[in-house]
Amino acid sequence: MLTVQNITYIHPDKELLFDNISFSIATHQKAALIGNNGSGKSTMLKLISNLLIPHSGKITVEGKVYYVPQVIGQYNEQTVAEALLIADKLKAFYDILDGKATEENMTLLDDDWTIEDRVCTALEFWDLQHIDLLQPMANLSGGQKNKVFLAGIQIHEPDLILLDEPSNHLDNTARKKLYDFIKETKATLLIVSHDRQLLNTLDQMLELSNKGIKTYGGNYEFYVEQKNIEQETLLQNINNREKELRKAREKERETTERQQRLDARGKKKSEKAGIPRIKMNTLRNNAENSTSKLKGAHAEKISGIQQDLTDLRNKRPEQDKMKLGFSESTLHQGKVLVELQQVNVKYSANHLWSSPITYQLRSGERILIKGDNGSGKTTLAKIILGELVPHTGAVTNNLRKTSYIDQDYSLINNTLTVYEQAQEYNTDALQEHDIKIRLNRFLFDNDTWNKPCSTLSGGERMRLALCCLTIDQEAPELIVLDEPTNNLDIQNIIILTSAINDYTGTLIVISHDESFLNDIGLTNEIHVERNVKNA
């Protein structure tokens, strides 16, 4: 079905992304392309879709290809029908029904007399039946835009489906439909995703990295098991090489000391025997050469072990190299931070929520705000933070210090460099070297300190945001995470999870990522339901 042979891709700025990549996917197979941010996963999908041209290599696809992109803002100026690539065909179809059976219209329709039925069925399946095909994509929410492109699968009936982060922006209801579709479809799938629940519906993992591509048979859980075995082996190899290094250094020391003792005894014997000076010099030179050769042999062996050890350590996952550490929360557990009494807000002429919300948020809680797309989850979070005032009800807010982290990590100032951004949170007058030590802990080395924040990836923005919170003298009493995993790869989700589990304050989360939610120890949830009058 799909064969990728010796593909090399070079960015327009001449930077090599990947080199000599080869893999294949059989007909009806359902595979994931996984890897860290920046490894080239989205680029690979665009190459297979023929949206980009490789520097070298060959891609062979049997059948029709359909591609669902991750970034969809570039379609805002198009109508829904144009984004779905059906505008001309639908117009021809309606023109023919209206009696305009011109040769041009018949060619555009290409005997596809079921196009209207497929469009209606697909839109209804994704709860988009009220969407006007002629309206601009810009009028739709992120979740609706994503569902438009997913609806295109049923409309175009492709043989090979390429999905780039397809569960982004989808609520739980839409995610379940996506998972069910993936399980039931007979089409061949290649999916880029950080959604571990989705990845567990697939039967092959293709791991793309700067070392090439590696295939793991099985779903994501099986892949994790295999990676754990590899990491245990790697750790054992590191330990073994560390032992070898210690033994080699001890052997070098013992050998050098023994040789020095032998040389000293030989010199004394020579002096007692009255050996001529010239002969003495020759013997001394021979001893020095012998010692030098021994040192050289040991140094070469030690250098080889050190290089092997460095190579092995560099293979460790990034999260194993990173040091986390939030300052302890000063609040005692259970103190009421925010109290909501019969809170609601107006949307047009009606209330947003079907029922007003009453809740006491206590320190130390980990709360999920749950609801479908458009139900007002972010609105409720901002009321709790004191950024919005409800139209009805009362709010008592005892919060002193909070932090709101959205999916774009907007607390990062794009006009600053990495170091300048960290300095913005330096409330404890830390010295420059202390700030840079903290940055190093979050994997920002000296090559990145002057890097503009505007160029950071989603994972880098997340790590810098966490670094800023740990630099601040006082940790926030409350952290709100609003869809924080949407733009992260799996490695950075693990890093975020570790950081959040290291935080002792109060947490509010808005997320549809079930795996992430299961890993962060939630204690309660608030369910918001949209008023049907606003649906």
Contact residues for 415 (Cβ-Cβ < 8 A; gap 6+): 453, 454
CB atoms inside a 10 Å sphere around CB 102: 11
Instruction: Examine the pLDDT at 294 and tell me if it is beyond 60.
Output: no
For residue 283, pLDDT beyond 60: no
**Mean pLDDT across 176-196:** 94
Q: In this model, does residue 34 exceed pLDDT 90?
A: yes
Burial 85-97 (b: 16+ CB within 10 A, else e): ebbebbebbebbe
Question: What is the DSSP code string of 239-251?
Answer: HHHHHHHHHHHHH
pLDDT one-digit tens code per residue, 485-530 = 887 888 888 888 888 888 888 999 999 888 899 999 999 999 999 8
With beta carbons less than 8 A apart as the criterion, state whether 522 and 368 touch: yes
Whole-number Å distance between alpha carbons of 462 and 453:
11
Decide if 485 contacts 516 (C-beta within 8 A).
yes
Indicate the SS3 state at residue 10: strand
How sure is the predictor about 463, in pLDDT bands with cuts at 50, 70 and 90?
A: confident
Q: Which of 280-284, 381-385, 426-430, 447-451 has the lowest mean pLDDT?
A: 280-284
Tokens of 513: 């990522």
At 296 the pLDDT is 60
pLDDT tens digits for 135-184? Answer: 999 888 888 889 999 999 999 999 999 999 999 888 888 999 999 999 99
Mean pLDDT, rounded, for 335-341: 93
pLDDT level of residue 374 (50, 70, 90 thresholds): confident
C-alpha to C-alpha distance for 169 and 182, rounded to whole angstroms:
17
User: pLDDT tier at 228 (50, 70, 90 boundaries)?
Assistant: confident
Centroid of chain to Cα 18: 19
Cβ-in-10-Å burial (0-12, 13-18, 19+) of 23 comes to: buried
Per-residue pLDDT band at 331 (split at 50, 70, 90): low
Tell me the mean pLDDT in the region 28-40: 89
Is the model's pLDDT at 366 over the cut of 80? yes
pLDDT tens readout for residues 135-145: 999 888 888 88
In 185-335, alpha helices (H): 196-199, 220-273, 277-314, 318-321
Task: State mean pLDDT over 404-423.
Answer: 90
User: CA-CA distance, 122 to 103, in Å (whole number)?
Assistant: 28
Residue 234 has pLDDT above 80, yes or no: no
The one-letter code for the residue type at 163 is L
Mean pLDDT, residues 446-472 taken together: 86
How many angstroms separate the CA atoms of 125 and 159, rounded? Answer: 20
pLDDT on residue 75: 86
Tokens 């209207």 sit at which residue?
116
477: nearest Cα among 362, 386, 383, 370: 362
